[in-house]
């Protein structure tokens, strides 16, 4: 089902709380938010001028699949922020606005956000590979000698947090000890342990579907009433993770991917890495969209249209 590419929603009837590279967050009630995922795409911390077909819907419905179908079976103690994919009738929205928001919106509970990205890496690639080649470390932590590019870490996945930069800024890789200083001793271990548990569960599930989750990043919030750490934001999507086709995996080289690595490679090849004001060609848009849709279908076992059909109108 072809839909328009939505790069901005711009609701005027609800208070705008925040706007990120991809999402717009609105006040829905005293204790909930309307989190809308656009079709915008960023690479190397720069937002591209044009978007990717169906991207916002893929990210939203895939997040829902992880939170409500997969993770409860494997990490039963996990608490998350998602309330519903259906927009309350009480919200002051036109039928046209509701049609745009359908499938790309989540009603989520409000929590105080921990100001770090909880990154878990199962394989040495990207910035971790670059650091390792120079220093033999990953996020400042020494690693065994002789590792190959894209090799699985010998001791299993590692927790490699980063700072959470504002829009337009760049996240900074930090050590777990630095993250502990930011979030405090009371919550540091809980965040790390949850991030590792979620990654391991997701890695095992995805591998059965023919996808390697090479690395991913999570965000967590604090339920100040119960003092519980809560998983928030998007989860295990092609935007927040590296997805590799398992059948093509060979360590020692770059991997094929289902995520936006294709876009990163195009930008680098065209000399556009990190530059503002860049628009994708139609071919790059289409191929990026196809990769996102294939990842969705493999991981959920259904097409995007089938997943959308389950939502209330």
Helices 176-183 and 185-208, axial angle in degrees (round to 10): 130
Tell me the pairing of strands 141-142 and 137-138. antiparallel
Residues near 30 by beta carbon (within 8 Å), at least 6 away in sequence? none
Residue 262: pLDDT over 90: no
So where are the chain's domains?
Answer: 16-111+289-309, 113-267
**Higher local confidence (pLDDT), 261 or 170:** 261
Residue 7 near residue 279, CB atoms below 8 Å: no
- Reply yes or no on whether the pLDDT at 1 is more than 50: no
pLDDT digits (tens, 9 = 90+) for 176-187: 999 999 999 999
Average confidence (pLDDT) over 194-199: 98
CATH 3.30.470.20 fits 113-267, yes or no: yes
Contact 34, 50 (CB under 8 A): no
**Mean pLDDT across the stretch 276-300?**
95
Please check whether residue 85 is in contact with residue 311, taking contact to mean a CB–CB distance below 8 angstroms: yes
C-alpha–C-alpha distance, residues 62 and 216, integer Å: 14
16-111+289-309 — its CATH code? 3.30.200.20
Confidence of residue 4 (pLDDT cuts 50, 70, 90): confident
| Structural tokens at position 89 | 């009738």
Q: How do the residues of the chain divide into helix, strand and coil, expressed in percent and rounded to 5?
A: 35, 20, 45
Picking from 125, 109, 87, 64, the residue whose alpha carbon sits closest to that of residue 11 is 87
Q: Average per-residue pLDDT in the chain?
A: 94
Inform me whether the pLDDT recorded for 12 exceeds 80: yes
Contact (CB, 8 A) for 236 and 66 = yes
As a whole number, mean pLDDT of residues 220-247 equals 96
Give the Cα separation of 26 and 33 in Å (integer).
6
Q: Are 253 and 149 in contact (CB under 8 A)?
A: yes
The pTM assigned to this predicted structure is 0.94
142-158 mean pLDDT = 97
Q: How many angstroms separate the CA atoms of 51 and 41, rounded?
A: 6
Strand residue runs (E) in the chain: 16-19, 23-27, 32-37, 42-43, 46-47, 82-84, 105-109, 112-113, 116-121, 137-138, 141-142, 158-159, 162-163, 211-223, 228-232, 241-245
Three-class SS state of 230: strand
Bridge-based pairing state of the strands 42-43 and 46-47? antiparallel
| Residue 241, pLDDT above cutoff 60 | yes
């Amino acid at each position: 089902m072809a839909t328009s590419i939505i790069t901005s929603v711009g609701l005027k009837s609800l208070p705008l709380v925040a706007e990120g590279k991809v999402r717009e967050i609105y006040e829905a009630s005293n204790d909930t938010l309307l989190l809308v995922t656009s079709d915008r795409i960023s690479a190397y911390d720069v937002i591209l001028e044009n978007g990717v077909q169906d991207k916002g819907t893929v990210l939203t419905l895939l997040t829902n699949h992880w939170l409500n179908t997969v993770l409860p079976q494997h990490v039963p103690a996990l608490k998350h922020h998602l309330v519903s994919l259906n927009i309350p009738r009480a919200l002051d929205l036109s039928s046209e606005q509701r049609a745009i928001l359908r499938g790309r919106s989540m009603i989520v509970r409000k929590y105080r956000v921990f100001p770090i990205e909880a990154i878990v890496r199962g394989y040495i690639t990207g910035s971790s590979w670059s650091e390792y080649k120079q220093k033999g470390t990953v996020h400042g932590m020494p690693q065994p000698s002789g590792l190959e590019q894209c090799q699985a870490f010998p001791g299993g996945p590692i927790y490699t947090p980063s700072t959470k930069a504002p829009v337009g800024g760049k996240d900074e890789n930090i050590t777990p000890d630095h993250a502990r200083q930011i979030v405090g001793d009371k919550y540091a271990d809980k965040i790390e342990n949850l991030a590792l548990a979620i990654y391991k569960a997701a890695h095992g599930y995805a591998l059965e579907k023919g996808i390697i989750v090479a690395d991913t990043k999570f965000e967590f919030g604090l339920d100040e009433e119960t003092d519980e750490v809560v998983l928030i934001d998007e989860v295990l999507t092609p935007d927040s993770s590296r997805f590799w086709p398992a059948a093509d995996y060979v360590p020692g080289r770059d991997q094929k991917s289902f995520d936006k690595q294709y876009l990163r490679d195009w930008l680098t090849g065209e000399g556009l890495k990190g530059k503002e004001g860049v628009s994708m060609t139609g071919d790059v848009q289409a191929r990026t969209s196809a990769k996102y849709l294939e990842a969705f279908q493999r991981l959920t076992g259904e097409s995007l249209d089938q997943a959308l059909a389950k939502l209330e109108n």
